[in-house]
Amino acid sequence: MHNETQQPTAILLFGATGDLAHRKLYPALYEIYKKTETPFAVIGIARRPWDHDRFREYVHSSLTENGKADRNEFLNRFYYYSLDVNNNEAYRGLKDLAERLDREYGLGGNRLFYLALAPEFFGTVTLNLKASGLTETAGFKRLIIEKPFGRDLKSAEALNTTIQSVFGEKEIYRIDHYLGKEMVQNIQVIRFANPIFESIWNNRYISNVQITVSETLGVGERAGYYDRTGALLDMVQNHLLQMTALTAMEPPSRLETEDIRDEKVKVLRSIRPVTVESARRDVVKGQYTKGVLPSGESVPGYREEENVPEDSETETFVAAKLFIDNFRWAGVPFYIRTGKRMAVKSTQIVIQFKDVPLNPYTSTFFAQEPNLLVIHVQPDEGLSLKLNAKAFTHKWDSKPITLEYCNNCSDVLGGPDAYERLLGDSLRGDSTNFTRWDEVALSWQFVEGITTAWKETNTPVRFYPAGSMGPAESDALLARDGFHWWPLTRINKN
Ligand code: NAP
Concatenate the DSSP letters of all residues of 99-167 into one string.
HHHHHHHT-TT-EEEEE-S-GGGHHHHHHHHHHHTTT--SS-EEEEEPSP--SSHHHHHHHHHHHHTTS
What spacing in Å lies between the alpha carbon of 85 and ligand 1's midpoint?
12
How much is the mean pLDDT over the chain? 94
DSSP state of 477: H
Give the ligand 1 atom nearest the CA of 115.
Answer: 29
pLDDT at 358: 79
pLDDT at 494 over 80: no
- Give ligand 1 pocket residues (Cβ under 6 A): 15-20, 46-48, 84-86, 116-119, 146-147
pLDDT at 362 over 80: no
For residue range 263-290, list pLDDT tens digits in order: 999 999 999 999 999 999 999 999 999 9
Q: For the residues 92-106, what does the mean pLDDT come to?
A: 97
Of 27-41, 73-87, 236-250, 307-321, the range with the lowest mean pLDDT is 27-41
Q: For the residues 154-161, what does the mean pLDDT come to?
A: 97
* Probe target for ligand 1 pocket from 43, 47, 147, 174, with the most ligand atoms within 8 Å of CB: 47
pLDDT at 71: 81
* Probe target for ligand 1 pocket from 22, 23, 117, with the most ligand atoms within 8 Å of CB: 117
What spacing in Å lies between the alpha carbon of 18 and ligand 1's midpoint?
5
How many whole angstroms separate alpha carbon 246 and alpha carbon 260? 9
* Probe target for ligand 1 pocket from 20, 66, 120, with the most ligand atoms within 8 Å of CB: 20
How many whole angstroms separate alpha carbon 19 and alpha carbon 11? 18
How many whole angstroms separate alpha carbon 168 and alpha carbon 242? 22
**361 or 50, which is more confident:** 50
How many whole angstroms separate alpha carbon 314 and alpha carbon 229? 8
What spacing in Å lies between the alpha carbon of 121 and ligand 1's midpoint?
10
Give the ligand 1 atom nearest the CA of 21.
Answer: 26
Q: Which distant-in-sequence residues (6+ apart) come within 8 Å of 363 by Cβ?
A: 391, 393, 397, 398, 399
pLDDT at 456 over 80: yes
Closest C-alpha to ligand 1, atom 48: 47
pLDDT at 468 over 90: yes
How much is the pTM?
0.95
What spacing in Å lies between the alpha carbon of 48 and ligand 1's midpoint?
12
* Residue 230, φ and ψ in degrees, nearest 5: 85, 165
b/e per residue 19-48 (b: at least 16 CB within 10 A): ebbbebbbbbbbbbbeeeebebbbbbbbee
Give the ligand 1 atom nearest the CA of 85.
Answer: 19
Q: Which distant-in-sequence residues (6+ apart) come within 8 Å of 325 by Cβ?
A: 270, 271, 272
Confidence band of 1 (pLDDT split at 50, 70, 90)? low
For residue range 403-430, list pLDDT tens digits in order: 999 987 765 456 788 999 999 999 999 9
Closest C-alpha to ligand 1, atom 40: 20
pLDDT at 25 over 60: yes
**120 or 361, which is more confident:** 120
Confidence band of 23 (pLDDT split at 50, 70, 90)? very high
pLDDT at 139: 97
Catalytically active residues are 239
Closest C-alpha to ligand 1, atom 6: 15
pLDDT at 343 over 80: yes
What spacing in Å lies between the alpha carbon of 426 and ligand 1's midpoint?
20
Closest C-alpha to ligand 1, atom 34: 147
Above pLDDT 70, what percent of the chain? 98
Give the ligand 1 atom nearest the CA of 50.
Answer: 47
What spacing in Å lies between the alpha carbon of 93 and ligand 1's midpoint?
21
